[in-house]
Amino acid sequence: MTKSIAIKIDRAKKHLEDLQQKIHSHIVQYPLRVEKEEEPDTGDIVHKVRITEPTPEHWSADLGDVIHNLRSALDHLAC
């Protein structure tokens, strides 16, 4: 593996670790709620997960950085 491939993979790992930390902090600050409801038509008990706070929109860019670095590493490997 060339050095440029290793650098891109390491960078992707760093982006992923940062995103995982952001997700963990978000879940701690805004925990999900699980609600139990009865389905009116059938009487079945349904469990629903409610999001108390939407995830930040910029997380998609963070995930894009991970994917871009991995794809770039794969391009280097293919060439």
- The whole-model pTM stands at 0.74
Residue 23 is part of which domain span? 3-78
pLDDT for 30: 94
Residue 79 has pLDDT above 90, yes or no: no
- The number of folded domains in the chain is 1
As a whole number of angstroms, the distance between CA 73 and CA 67 comes to: 10
Q: Tell me the per-residue pLDDT of 33-78, one tens digit each, with 9 for 90 and over.
A: 999 999 999 999 999 999 989 999 999 999 999 999 999 999 988 8
Alpha helices, H only, 1-79 = 3-29, 59-78
Q: Tell me the per-residue pLDDT of 16-35, one tens digit each, with 9 for 90 and over.
A: 999 999 999 999 999 999 99
Residue 1 has pLDDT above 80, yes or no: no
